[in-house]
Structure 1
C-alpha cells in the first residue's frame, strides 16, 4: 500500500471519529438532561470543552510531538486514550462528570489535528500538490460519519452503513462507535511511516508555539481590524456548530439529521475549489464580508422560517460560503501579510483568536442566551416557540460584525486585493476546525 493511501486512510479515520458524534451530541444532551433548568448552559459548556482543549493543543504538540516522540506513535497513544474516554462518556449521566470526561477526551484529540498534518508533511514528496488530496479524505470521513450515524443518504433515503445503530444521533451509540473507530485508528497509527520529532534537543518556545511572536502583525491597522472581527464573528458562529443539529432534528429531520448536516461539508468541498476564482474577482475584503453576511443570513433563515425544512437545508448548504469565504480567505490573507519567518506563528495566532477564544466565548454565550429566553430544546414545540429569539440573536451579532468590518477594514495593498499567493513555503491546512472538517 502506497504512503499516500496510508495517509489518506489516516485522515479519513481522524475525522470520522470526530464527525460521528460532534454534530448530534447536542441532540443527545438535550434528551439526557431534559427538564434541567440549565439545559442550554449544559449543552454550551459541553461543546466548550472542545475549544478549551484547542487552547492547550499547541502546547502538547509543540512540547511532545516536536521534541520527544515520533508523531505517529504519539497520535496512536492519544487515540487509544481517547477511545477509552469516549466509551466512558457514553455511560455518564451526571453533567459535571460529563464535562470533565469530554474535556479530557478533547485534550487527547485536538493535538492530533496538527499531528496528522505534520505526519503528512514529513512523508510526501510534494506538500503543495499531495496534501490537499490527502486532506480531502478527512472531509470525506466526516461526511461518511454523518451518513453512518443518520442511517440515511443526506436525508434522502435510508442508507444503513452501520445497520446495528438505531436512533444513533439521540443515543449513546454515537460515542460507542467513535470509541471503537478511535481504538482501531490508534492501533493503525503505529503502522504509519516514521515521523521523528524535528525539534529534538531544542528548547520549547511557548511564545512561538502559541503564536504570540506574531503579535506585531496587529500593528498593521487593517490586520488588527481583521483579527478583532475574526474573534467577534466566531462568537455567533458557535451557535451553528453546537445547536443546529438538535434544532434541525427536532423541527424536521429526526434521526436523519446528521446525514442532512453532511450537506454542509459537500458544499464546503464545492466552494473550496472556487475560492481562487472568487478571490481573484472580489479581493479579500469582499470575500470576507460575503462570508460574514452568509452567517447572518443562515441564522435569519433558521429564526424566521423554522417550520420550512427547505430553508433549514439552505442554511446548512450555505456552509461552503460561510466557512470557505471567511476562514479560508482569512488564512490566505494572513499568509500574505505575515513575513515568511512568521507565517506559522501568524496562523497559530489566528487559530487562537477564532477556534480558541472566539468559539469559547460563543459556546458560553449560546448557553446563557438559551437559558435566558427559557428555550426548551428537548421538544419540537420548544424549538417552535423559541427559534426566532434564539437564532436572531446570533444573526444580529454577525450582521453587526459585518458592518464594523465593512467600515473599518481598508487595505489597498496587493495582499488584500489579489488572489492566493504562489509562494507556498509554509503550507497551512485550511480545514482543521469542527465542525467543518
Structure 2
C-alpha cells in the first residue's frame, strides 16, 4: 500500500472509531436520562436496556459469519451503518415502552455489524502492528470523551431529548465515514470459511475467559444504566457528570498507549485478574461514598483498568490464542456473550434493584461482587495456559 493511500486509510479508520465510540459516549451514559425524561421507571429502564442489549448476542455472530464466509467485510460494515441510521429515526416517534424497545433493539442489531468488522479491517490494514492499532483505537476514546462532555453540557440547557438528537447526527457521520474506508486484498480462504468455532469455544481456557468477561460486563449494568441519574440525584450537574465520565475515558486513553508494554511485562492472566478485582473495588466505592466528589473523581481512574486495559488484554488474548482464520467470529462471540448476554443480565438486574435510586448502594454492591467473582474465576486457569495457543485438532475438521 502506498504511503499516501496508507495515511488516508489510517485517517478514515481513526475517524470511524471516533464516531463509533462517540455514539457510545452518548448512549451509554445518557440513555437512562433520556428514558427517565420520557417517564419510564427505573425497572422499565433496566428492562429496556436488557432487551436492546440482547441484540448484541445475536447480531455480532450473525454479521461476522456472513463477513467471514463472503469476505465482504467493508460491505457489511457500511450496510450495518446505513441500517442503524434508518432504524434509529423511529426513536423520535416512539413513546411507548415496546415501541421504543423495538426501535432501539433494531438499531442495536444493525449497529453490532460495525465494530467486529472495523476491528478486523483495521488489523488487516496495519498487518497486525499492535502499536499502530493502539494509535488508531485511541481516536475511539477521544470521540467518546468529546461527545460525553458535549452532551453532558447540553443537558444543562436543553431537554432530556438532547442525547437522541446528538446520536442521530453521530450515526449519520458514522455512515459517511464508512464510505471513505477501503478494504485490503481479500484474505479469506475456503479453509477459513469452513473452520467451525464451536470446538474452540468449548475449550476450558476460552470458556473461563468468556465467563470472566461476562461477569465484568454484568457488573457494568449499574454504571451504564444509572450512573448519570445517580449523579443527578446526588446534586451533580450535567457538566460535572459529563466530565467525570470523560475522565474515565481520558485515563483509558493513557492505558491504551502503554497496554502492550504492560502485557509484555506482566502477562494476560495477571492483568485480567487485577483489572477485575480493581473494578470490584470501584463499584463498592461508588455505591457507598459517591456523595464525596473526590472519591468519585479518583474512582473514575479505575476505568483505565475496568475497560481500557482489560479490553486490550482480551484482544491480545484472542489474537494470540485462536487461529487467525476464525478471529472475526471469535471476536463476535466475545461481544455476544460478554457484552451481550452479560450486559443484558446486568442491565435487567440493576433496573430491578435500583428502585428509583433508593437501591443504589445494593445495586453497586452486587456489581462489585460480580466483578470480584469474575477475577476469582481466572484462578481456575494458569498464567501459562492463557499465554499459549488453543490446540483442538477436531476443530479443524
| TM value normalised by structure 2 | 0.82
**1:391 corresponding residue in structure 2:** 364
Cα deviations by residue, 1:114-149 (Å, 9 ceiling, x for unpaired): 232334345456644433322221221111111221
Larger relative contact order (Cα-Cα within 8 Å, sequence gap ≥ 6): 2
Is residue 253 of structure 1 aligned with residue 239 of structure 2?
Answer: no
CA RMSD of aligned residues (A): 3.3
Is residue 233 of structure 1 aligned with residue 216 of structure 2?
Answer: yes
Q: CA deviation at 1:52?
A: 1.7
**2:14 corresponding residue in structure 1:** 8
Stretch deviating more after TM superposition (357-366 or 334-343): 334-343
Does the aligned pair in 2 maintain the 1:66–1:197 contact within 8 Å? Answer: no
**2:380 corresponding residue in structure 1:** 409
1:93–1:330 distance in 2 versus 1, CA, 3 Å: same
CA distance in 2, matches of 1:217, 1:93: 45
2:311 to 327, 330, 333: 327
Stretch deviating more after TM superposition (166-175 or 79-88): 166-175
Is residue 213 of structure 1 aligned with residue 185 of structure 2?
Answer: no
**1:162 corresponding residue in structure 2:** none
CA distance in 2, matches of 1:263, 1:329: 21
1:309–1:415 distance in 2 versus 1, CA, 3 Å: same
**2:392 corresponding residue in structure 1:** none
Cα deviations by residue, 1:13-48 (Å, 9 ceiling, x for unpaired): 2222332233211112123225xxxx2232123222
1:186–1:311 distance in 2 versus 1, CA, 3 Å: same
Is residue 367 of structure 1 aligned with residue 379 of structure 2?
Answer: no
Cα deviations by residue, 1:154-210 (Å, 9 ceiling, x for unpaired): xxxxxxxxxxx45478621211222123224323433433568765999966x84xx
1:169–1:415 distance in 2 versus 1, CA, 3 Å: farther
Q: CA deviation at 1:388?
A: 2.0
Does the aligned pair in 2 maintain the 1:14–1:138 contact within 8 Å? Answer: yes
User: What secondary structure, in the 3-state scheme, does the structure 2 residue paired with 1:2 have?
Assistant: helix
**1:317 corresponding residue in structure 2:** 301
1:97–1:198 distance in 2 versus 1, CA, 3 Å: farther
CA distance in 1, matches of 2:189, 2:326: 21
CA distance in 2, matches of 1:72, 1:120: 11
Q: CA deviation at 1:101?
A: 0.5
CA distance in 2, matches of 1:47, 1:269: 26
User: What secondary structure, in the 3-state scheme, does the structure 1 residue paired with 2:23 have?
Assistant: helix
CA distance in 1, matches of 2:332, 2:146: 29
Cα deviations by residue, 1:230-261 (Å, 9 ceiling, x for unpaired): 33333223222222222123324332222320
1:169–1:88 distance in 2 versus 1, CA, 3 Å: farther
CA distance in 1, matches of 2:325, 2:232: 46
Q: CA deviation at 1:102?
A: 0.2
1:388–1:3 distance in 2 versus 1, CA, 3 Å: closer
**2:39 corresponding residue in structure 1:** 33
1:244 to 207, 212, 227: 227
1:268–1:97 distance in 2 versus 1, CA, 3 Å: same
**2:395 corresponding residue in structure 1:** none
**1:424 corresponding residue in structure 2:** none
User: What secondary structure, in the 3-state scheme, does the structure 2 residue paired with 1:58 have?
Assistant: helix
Stretch deviating more after TM superposition (331-340 or 135-144): 331-340
Superposition map of 1:81-230 within 5 A: 81-124=83-126, 127-151=129-153, 165=154, 167=156, 171-193=160-182, 199=188, 208=196, 211-218=197-204, 224-230=207-213
Does the aligned pair in 2 maintain the 1:214–1:342 contact within 8 Å? Answer: no
Is residue 19 of structure 1 aligned with residue 5 of structure 2?
Answer: no
| TM value normalised by structure 1 | 0.76
Does the aligned pair in 1 maintain the 2:279–2:368 contact within 8 Å? Answer: yes
CA distance in 1, matches of 2:293, 2:13: 38
2:271 to 277, 282, 287: 287
2:281 to 297, 314, 322: 297
Long gaps (5+) in structure 1? 152-164, 377-382, 422-437
1:368–1:319 distance in 2 versus 1, CA, 3 Å: same
Long gaps (5+) in structure 2? 1-6, 390-397
Stretch deviating more after TM superposition (130-139 or 393-402): 393-402
Does the aligned pair in 1 maintain the 2:14–2:136 contact within 8 Å? Answer: yes
1:133–1:200 distance in 2 versus 1, CA, 3 Å: same
CA distance in 1, matches of 2:182, 2:299: 41
